[in-house]
């Protein structure tokens, strides 16, 4: 299957700082990328849908000014958690697909811990 | 409201045994149904994807079935191994530009020696 690389795998940051997470499709062009958040023993919660060259579409309740998404190319989307707080600590996962709602390939996830 | 319900919530089986996980959905119009395996602390890995016209698909020891009339799917795992211990997630996508993927809460499978 196609490969989606997410970086970093884990990060620890201080409260108030910003953290950037990268999601890359390595062997295909992803017209659409998705960002999820997952709490322990819960399913993935969609945060936003990112389309190359346009603004991301955020799910209800997700602060767009706090979770900045940039989909600058067909192979790269970034999620920046701004002014991070301990409650932002979570597992963040991206996925990418060539065509909306077809096979989606997931990155390996990023464990964010805010101290 | 589109929903995906998985059962059981958790399951413990002995190594070598078979098991079946269930997924019921209300997503309409239907586009495809996917099963993923997620190891703890990792991203989900695709097992199978089925469209409306497909009623069974296999991937090694994993066999997924789909009944689009009753809106039910199952994932059958044969001759379980310790490495099968993971969360199994059912994802259903709707058709069209407005179609979104709806995730089930997953079934946590534990395979014991």
Considering only CB atoms, which chain A residues are within 8 Å of B106? 43
pLDDT surpasses 60 at B99 = no
| Residue B9 touches chain A, beta carbons under 8 Å | no
**CA-nearest residue of chain A to B89?**
A43
**CA-nearest residue of chain B to A2?**
B46
Mean pLDDT of B72-100: 88
Q: Give which of B113, B108, B95, B112 is closest to B29, Cα–Cα.
A: B95
CB–CB of A12/A111 below 8 Å?
no
Cβ distance B103 to A93 less than 8 Å, yes or no, reads: no
pLDDT surpasses 70 at B97 = no
Residue A80: the pLDDT is 97
Residue A58: the pLDDT is 94
Interface size A-B, in CB pairs within 8 Å, comes to 55
Tell me the DSSP string of chain A.
---EEEE-SEEEE-TT--EEEEEEESSS--SEEEEEEE-TTS--EEEEEEETTSPPEEPTT--TTTEEEEEEETTEEEEEE-S--GGG-EEEEEEEESSTTS--EE---EEEEE-
Average pLDDT over chain B reads 92
**CA-nearest residue of chain B to A91?**
B41
Q: Give which of B25, B49, B35, B50 is closest to B84, Cα–Cα.
A: B35
Beta strands B107-112 and B10-14, pairing class: parallel
Q: What is the mean pLDDT of each run of 10 residues along chain A (115 residues)?
A: 88 96 91 90 89 88 94 92 96 85 82 96
Residue B27: the pLDDT is 86
* Residue B64 backbone phi and psi in degrees, to 5: -105, 145
- Between residues B70 and B2, which one has the greater pLDDT? B70
Residue A1: the pLDDT is 63
Cβ distance B45 to A107 less than 8 Å, yes or no, reads: no
Q: Give which of A57, A88, A83, A82 is closest to A71, Cα–Cα.
A: A57
Classify residue B28 as left (phi > 0), alpha (psi -120 to 50) or beta. beta
Residue A100: the pLDDT is 62
Give the confidence band of B98 by pLDDT, cuts at 50, 70, 90. very low
Residue A83: the pLDDT is 96
Would you tell me which residues 60-99 of chain A have a C-beta closer than 8 angstroms to some C-beta of chain B? 91, 93, 95
How many whole angstroms separate alpha carbon B34 and alpha carbon B50?
6
Q: Per residue in B16-63, pLDDT tens? A: 999 999 999 998 888 889 999 999 989 999 999 998 889 999 999 999
């Amino acid at each position: 299957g196609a490969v989606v690389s997410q970086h970093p795998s884990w990060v620890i940051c201080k409260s108030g700082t910003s953290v950037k997470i990268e999601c890359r499709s390595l062997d295909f062009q992803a017209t659409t990328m998705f960002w999820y958040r997952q709490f322990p023993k819960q399913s993935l919660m969609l945060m936003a849908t990112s389309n190359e060259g346009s603004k991301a579409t955020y799910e209800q309740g997700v602060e767009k000014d706090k979770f900045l998404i940039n989909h600058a190319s067909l192979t790269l989307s970034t999620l920046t958690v701004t002014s991070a707080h301990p409650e932002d600590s979570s597992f963040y996962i991206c996925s990418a697909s060539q065509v909306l709602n077809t096979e989606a390939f997931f990155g390996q996830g990023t464990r964010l811990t805010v101290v | 409201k589109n929903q995906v319900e998985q059962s059981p919530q958790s399951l413990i089986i002995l190594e070598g045994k078979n098991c079946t996980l269930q997924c019921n959905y209300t997503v309409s119009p239907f586009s495809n149904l996917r099963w993923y395996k997620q190891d703890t602390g990792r991203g989900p890995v695709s097992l199978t994807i089925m469209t409306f016209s497909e009623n069974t698909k296999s991937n090694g020891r994993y066999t997924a079935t789909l009944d689009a009339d009753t809106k039910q799917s199952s994932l059958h795992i044969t001759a379980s191994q310790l490495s099968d211990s993971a969360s199994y997630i059912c994802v259903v996508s709707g058709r069209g530009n407005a179609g979104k993927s709806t995730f089930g809460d997953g079934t946590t499978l534990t395979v014991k020696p």
